[in-house]
Each structure stands twice: as structure tokens, then as C-alpha cells.
Amino acid sequence: MNVFKKINLLALVGLLTIASCNKKAEEKEDNKAQAYIEDVKQEYAPDKRVALFDVEATQANDAYILKGESNLPDAVSALKEKLNAEGISFTDSIQLLPTTDLEGKTNGLIKISVANLRGEGKHSAELVTQATMGTPVKILKNNEGWTLIQTPDGYISWVDYGGVIGLTDAEFEDWKAADKIIYLNPYGKSFEKADLKSQPVSDLVAGDILEVLSDKNGFYEAKYPDGQKAFVDKVEAMGYSDWVASVDQSGEDLVMTAKKLMGLPYLWGGTSPKGVDCSGFTKTVYFLNGLVIPRDASQQVHTGKLIDSTKNFENLVPGDLLFFGRKATDSTGERIIHVGMWIGDQKFIHSMGNVHISTMDTTSADFDEYNYNRYLRTKRINNQEGKGLLYLAKKDIFMAKKDSTSVKE
């Protein structure tokens, strides 16, 4: 092929590509149904991390075919109502989740000390968050050894088959009704016998929750979500009901918990004592004090009460969350990219490289100028109400609520 033929061929390919792109753009512009899909998505699922509405419309003659999947029945119904109201013909081929092939096992429990949850169903995908043992999840669908789940804070992600067990409604209610323990040491082990020298069964981390069968020689006899049994040192754990009644998110307790995690390595997507990112750290600290907060810094910033936005740290109290990032400009929006927790004395603790303490004292030798310069605001979570804040003492996701009628005489 000579150089002129090659140039002509490249030019032809370029023209065909442009024509194809123009055609797709015209089709998208003429796609009336797609505009309503975007409206519904904005209303019901503006944050894809916690709501799934992956729907598109393709034209077929004078009608549309709605394809995709969603875990939001109300959103799907709203879309169909809008299309019907506008006289737009369509065929509904949207897959509602959970899928029917789950055979009723739409409840799940994390069954290992820490499960890695990913953005896609493959080990090479981004680690987006983690969940500790005993965390109840909603199971949405299975695909080739991976399960799409939704955690109590609403996060939607994928876990491999080794991290979760599916339960029917009846099985899940039995689990919720059972007595439990919560492991409180940053990390440790369970054992085959009530003896620290016996064979370990598995590792454990702070926040792991297991059924308790009995106690023996200073150990809890515990049952894992998958049925295996082991013994847990009572010094390192506590009855779950007693624990829930004892925690109150006080500043002193939050600081004490945070300092127990000092030096923990930074891990993108980490929310456990095996590694934490910045928001994973604040989330873990609050969870170990009985409060579930949103997963990411950009979500956490929308909870609680505004305390400061001018670098006036006098009104801050231990437990307040400090947010950092980029301020909004005429052409770009604000971007929250970091969070830490105030501990008092002009200091905050955060995960950046590792979990460590920094100071906002401009006269100190170890003044954190970098974070001081990108500081945006402080929010108070303690004793606040609102979307995304789940107090375990009020809305217990691990235990069935007990009332007087259920107590046997």
C-alpha cells in the first residue's frame, strides 16, 4: 500500500468515525425517554455509591426498550409513570434487585474478620470499603463467585464468595434474636479450646460480632456466621447488649478509641484495624462507640452541625470532624478530600500515611501547615440527628428489639 492510499484510508476511517459519533449524538438527543431517566436518577439516586439506578432506553421503531437494573422499585415506578404521562411507549426490561435466583436469601452476614468490598466483581477492582464480621448486609445478586451487597450505611459494592453468607428472612431473624459478643481489641484471635495455647481458629479485629453460646474458664464460646465455633478471651470482648448500653460517643471515649489505632497504616478503602483511609478511620472510631456514620468524607461532611468554617478552633470539642480540600471557585465546585477528628489542645488525629496526631497551633514546631491551608470546615456529629447517622442504641442493626411480650415467665 503506497502512502497516498494509506492517507486516503485513514481519512475514510476518520470520516466514518465522525459520522458514527454524530449519529449516536443525534440519537441520544432525540431519545425522549433518556431525559426522564436522568430526571429520575437525579431524584432517587444522585449518589451511585448508595443507590443503584443503572437504566438506559434504546429506540425500537416508535417505542423504547428500558434496560438495566435497579434496587429502587419506587424509582422504576416513577420512571414508568412519567413516560406513560407523556404518552411515550416503552417495554420494561429493567431487572429489579434483589434477583429472584437468590431463592429468598437476600439477607447476608459478613463471615470473616474483615471483608474487602470492591467496585467491581473482581480482585483487581478498586477497594472501596470494608465490612467486619457479623455486619448484616442486603444481598442484591450473585455473579461468578462474587456477590453485590449493600451495607448498613447504604454502600453498594462487591464481595467474593468467601466473605459473605446468605440467609433467608427466618434465618436472619434467628440470628438477630441470638445473644452476641463484640470483639474490642484492635486485633487478636479465637481458639479451638478455652485455652490461649490451643489452635487458633481465625483472626479477629475490633468490631467483629459473633453469636455467644456460653462462657467457660474466662472465655466466650462463640459461633461464627457460617456455623463454626471457637473460644474468645473474655478480656478482649464484651456482651453486645451491655456494650451498646455503655457507649455514648463521649469525646473522651472517642479520643481513647482513636489513640488505640495510632500508627495504623493508610489503606485506600480501609475501614478496619487492618488499615484505614481518612474517612474509614473516623467511621471506625465512631462505630466502635456505637454510631454508624456515612462511609466517605464527601458524605460525612453533609451530616451533623456546622461548628466552624473560619479556622476559629476555640469552639471545637473532642470528636468533632474537620474537613479539608479545595474551595469552590467560579468554574469548579468544592471538593472534600480529607477528614480528621479533633482531640483537643489544638490537635486532631487522622489517617494520612498512617494514623497520627497533627496540630493547628501555628506557633508549634510540628504545625501542620499543609492541612491548615486546605482546611474547610468542622462538623459536630455527637448527639446530632439526621440522615446517615445510625445510633445502635436506638436503631439496632445487630439485635432484635426485645419487648415485654417476648419475655418468657
> Would you call 338 a catalytic residue per the annotation?
yes
For β-strands 136-143 and 107-110, DSSP reports them as antiparallel
Buried/exposed code over 293-331 (b: 16+ C-beta within 10 A; e: otherwise): bbbbbbbbbebbeebbeeeebeebebbbbbbbbeeeeee
Tell me the three cell numbers of residue 363.
506557633
Cβ atoms of residues 229 and 270 within 8 Å:
no
DSSP one-letter string for 195-255: STTS-EEEEEETT-EEEEEEEETTEEEEE-TTS-EEEEEGGGEEEHHHHHHH----HHHHH
User: With 0-12 CB in 10 A as exposed, 13-18 as middle and 19+ as buried, what is 31?
Assistant: middle
Neighbours of 37 (CB within 10 A): 21
Cβ atoms of residues 205 and 132 within 8 Å:
yes
Of 123, 302, 350, 356, which one is the catalytic site residue? 350
> Would you call 123 a catalytic residue per the annotation?
no
Quick one: CA dihedral 207, 253, 245, 381, positive or negative? negative
Alpha carbon distance 334, 315 (integer Å): 24
Which residues, 6+ apart, have CB-to-CB distance to 68 below 8 Å?
53, 54, 55, 56, 94, 95
DSSP three-state, residue 16: helix
The phi and psi torsions of 36 (rounded to 5 degrees) equal -70, -35
Alpha carbon distance 290, 298 (integer Å): 21
> Would you call 278 a catalytic residue per the annotation?
yes
Of 123, 302, 338, 356, which one is the catalytic site residue? 338
Catalytic residues: 278, 338, 350
